[in-house]
Structure 1
Amino acid sequence: MGDAAQDSKPERVWVDIAADADIPVTEIESLCMNCHEQGITRLLLTKIPYFREIIISAFECPHCNFRDSFIQSAGTIQEKGVRHTVDVLTKRDLNRQIVKSDTATVRFLEVDFEIPAQRGVLTTVEGLIQTAVDEISTDQPLRRVQDEETWKKIEEFLDKLRDLLKLKNPSGFHVVVDDPSGNSFIENLVAPATDPQISTHLYTRTTEQDEQLGLAADGEENDQVEERKVTEAQEKIMHFPASCSACGAPSETRMHVLSIPHFKEVVIMSTTCDACGYKSNEVKAGGAVSDRGRRITLKVTERDDLSRDLLKSETCGLRVPEVDLELTYGTLGGRFTTLEGLLVQVRDEIMDKVPFVDGDSVTPERRKVFDSFMHKLDSLINMEVVPWTLILDDPLANSYLQNPYAPDPDPNMQIEEYERTPEQDEEWGISDMKTEGYEKDGGRQAA
């Protein structure tokens, strides 16, 4: 029975691309769209270390020798869309690897050029530009004969793209990868530290984007919103229907309003999908937007500090200077946990989702830096290094760290309020808010 049980053990579907074992390749017959004969498609189900699952497809026709290949993300659609912006300054930046899913668009700001959503690729910044040049140049000889004026204009534009590859502009250029599915990445050359040349912005998808991704039927979201009428008391858990962000199946979201002593009310939301088993938890602060931002600094000196309750809102950034750890605003979303729980989530997130720090293309020096960082992070969780400093910086003041001495001040915790910058007000939509005099404007329009 033991042998039978062992034989029935399911094989791993997704194998790391850097694994020593042979990765199984699936071959299927498929129609060649070039000569309409039968060709062979090879499918490779693999997992890029510190990224996620992908499907690599390669087609070859023995009759006309036509070949084609592409990659497709096999991971779940993320809860939010992502917009990566990279500042390309040197030849090294041109070699940055880019994972572009089939839902992502790419923009080159300085030349006002956009690559629309198309099949997914694993390439580099230079590869994106060169591919665009090659594809646009394909019909240039014909254009020169048929319409010389159009040919000249396109040639001028191609020269601009070639100048990007030559880095003729000393200030470089900017590349923006916008992916509503959240499954695209730009390589961080100084991982696991924050790359100063990359900015990442997470955003909530629009109804139209959800429909394009197949997460909602046409008009479904608006109808659901109109039907949600909360009648339960504040102390009760409210239930309302939703759609699973992973598989699109109907699911149920639970919501509870919790009042945190010496802070404010927060909304805790939890979604579980019975169809695929996907789980999601999110915490949002309630109440009005604070006039000023808040920075909380805690000096961690003993293990009991790891048990402090912590609310990290989706607008909060986190820093631990001792290990050069920095999370930008929006990373990890909203979390209501303990200090230890947050550090464990940060470690797991880095291990699972930081791409381009493993595999054959990674230099030993870079791998050594990453391993050293992870060792330092584990030493904080295990309290092998004390004291160390935790800094929570929230421009909207929606984050909270428990004070066990409340209402008296905590000797190891400093809370600082500061004025937001105009850029922060613009990013969070505060600069467009009108909170005074709108009654008069409304009366004027009615008149």
Structure 2
Amino acid sequence: MTQQPEPIILELNPDQGCTEIESLCMNCRENGITRLLLTKIPYFREVIIMAFECPHCGFRNNEVQSASEISETGVHCTCQIKNSKDLSRQVLKAETATARIDELDFEIPAGAQRGVLTTIEGILTKAIEGLSQEQPVRKYMDENLYNKIQAIIDKLTIYRDAKEPFTFILDDPTGNSFLENLNAPAIDPQLEVRHYVRTKEQNEALGVVAAANPEVEKEEEEKKDNINIDVDEVMHFDATCPSCKAPCSTRMHLLNIPHFKEVVIMATTCDSCGYKSNEVKAGGAIAPKGKKITLKMTDEEDLSRDILKSETCALKIPEINLELTYGTLGGRFTTVEGLLDQIYDELDTKTPFTKGDSVTPERKHKFSDFLHKLDEVKEMKREFTLILDDPLSNSYLQNIYAPDPDPNMTIEEYERTFQQNEDFGINDMVVENYNEKGERINPVKNTEQKVEQKAE
């Protein structure tokens, strides 16, 4: 058996040493010392903490950079700031993230501020300091520009002092930024977190994919046209382990679920570190209506029911105030017990700012109490209600009485809202008004219908 290499990034430890390197001071042009610490923020992700100090002029600087992989999706956080407590929300802002205040039409673009672990108040303070630096010069050179920037500074100061409510938006295409939920693990009514698929341009800017090459794209399209997947075939393709970065294999298989539809199951296993993961993608067309499945869990046999939770499905257990929004956990094909185990592990190991020295005893006790209730649920020590809400009807919960109705299960179909159709890009889909050549007829018509639907 080959010996496993020691990890480069270690868990946060008070005895852990840091790396010191000599580097140039940008203030006095003498040499100072930069200290590097490669570590993991508990229950979040890997980071590189850098601190610079110059013994000649006393200049100091610090920075936080993400050392983890780029997430599959970007993250968009919208938070309503109403009081000083909201200003104390912790923010992990990556260098690729954009911060914005809607009411002021003020934006801190990606790269303008370095990666930092701070609060919303800290971000506002840093923005005020940055805008104020050249104000005396502007007042002398261009008084009109000075007055405009001073108006922004005054407004930011009002927001920082919690004298007026405002909307704070954090958008990061890498998915490596985070905005604290003060009500965790429950839903925060003032915080909306949305995960989205990056555009091709965003992937190219992040270096996830190479810049567009028409010849290469044409060859790839020709290869795709020649691929035929047999229903019983398990396809293998090379991948990279997200845990240790070693080469690994991913398997893909088409599966037809009885009384449901065809799905694609993908599983990744790493022989180097033992990492395992699986994901499910629903196939077929988008259903005309959404679907809500409610199951009353009464005994341990219900835990063995097969369940397919798609990436567009929200999950709720009202008895313990558990609510997972769309996109959480991705697609999963397992049993109810297996899904609850995954939810427990994710909350226990990957929920930021719920454990550690910086967490208040009240919040730590609240989160521990919630995990205890979730543990009772997954061991069926208490009855509960499981609710799956999927706007695209791509989720499935086994009916053990099939083809007869399940007395403990109710299935409701509903019309999607305009916002749900907008989030999934359905409003922009046009499948009508095409001629024989595949050209659109009256292309403006869909936009007009979209505006009319929103107005209604």
Q: TM-score, normalised by structure 2?
A: 0.88
Provide the rounded CA distance (Å) in 2 between the counterparts of 1:439 and 1:408: 45
Percent sequence identity is: 57
- Which of 405, 409, 414 pairs up with 1:409? 405
The equivalent of 2:183 in structure 1 is: 190
The equivalent of 1:427 in structure 2 is: 423
1:418 aligns with 2:414: yes
Change (3 A) 1:193 1:275: same
The equivalent of 1:76 in structure 2 is: 69
Partners of 2:91 and 2:178 within 8 A in 1: yes
Deviations 1:304-347 (A, max 9, x none): 11111110011100000111100011111111111111111111
Residues 312-331 of structure 1 correspond to what in structure 2 (within 5 A)? 312-331=309-328
Q: CA RMSD in A?
A: 2.8
The number of residues matched between the two structures is 434
- SS of 1:430's equivalent in the other structure is coil
The equivalent of 1:160 in structure 2 is: 155
The equivalent of 2:54 in structure 1 is: 61
Higher relative contact order (CA 8 A, sep 6+): 1
Partners of 1:79 and 1:245 within 8 A in 2: no
The equivalent of 1:285 in structure 2 is: 282
Long gaps (5+) in structure 1:
none
Provide the rounded CA distance (Å) in 2 between the counterparts of 1:138 and 1:120: 21
The equivalent of 2:432 in structure 1 is: 436
The equivalent of 1:44 in structure 2 is: 37
Provide the rounded CA distance (Å) in 2 between the counterparts of 1:274 and 1:208: 34
Report how far residue 15 of structure 1 moved: 2.7
Long gaps (5+) in structure 2:
444-456
- SS of 2:439's equivalent in the other structure is helix
Partners of 2:434 and 2:441 within 8 A in 1: no
- Which of 394, 397, 400 pairs up with 1:398? 394
Change (3 A) 1:248 1:51: closer
Residues 31-430 of structure 1 correspond to what in structure 2 (within 5 A)? 31-118=24-111, 119-169=114-164, 172-219=165-212, 222=217, 225-226=220-221, 227-229=223-225, 230-239=227-236, 253-271=250-268, 280-385=277-382, 387-430=383-426
Report how far residue 421 of structure 1 moved: 1.5
Q: Please, which moves more after superposition, 364-373 or 276-285?
A: 276-285
Provide the rounded CA distance (Å) in 1 between the counterparts of 2:385 and 2:422: 30
Change (3 A) 1:157 1:223: farther
Partners of 2:87 and 2:162 within 8 A in 1: no
- SS of 1:257's equivalent in the other structure is strand
The equivalent of 1:26 in structure 2 is: 19
Report how far residue 12 of structure 1 moved: 8.5
Partners of 1:228 and 1:240 within 8 A in 2: no
Provide the rounded CA distance (Å) in 1 between the counterparts of 2:245 and 2:302: 40
Q: TM-score, normalised by structure 1?
A: 0.89
Equivalent position amino acid for 1:401 in 2:
L
- SS of 1:438's equivalent in the other structure is coil
Report how far residue 294 of structure 1 moved: 0.6
- SS of 2:311's equivalent in the other structure is coil
- SS of 2:338's equivalent in the other structure is helix
Deviations 1:223-271 (A, max 9, x none): 6752334223232123456777789998765432211000011122345
Q: Please, which moves more after superposition, 241-250 or 429-438?
A: 241-250
Change (3 A) 1:278 1:143: farther
Change (3 A) 1:279 1:136: farther
Change (3 A) 1:111 1:234: same
Report how far residue 438 of structure 1 moved: 3.3
Provide the rounded CA distance (Å) in 2 between the counterparts of 1:402 and 1:65: 66
Report how far residue 46 of structure 1 moved: 2.8
Equivalent position amino acid for 2:81 in 1:
V
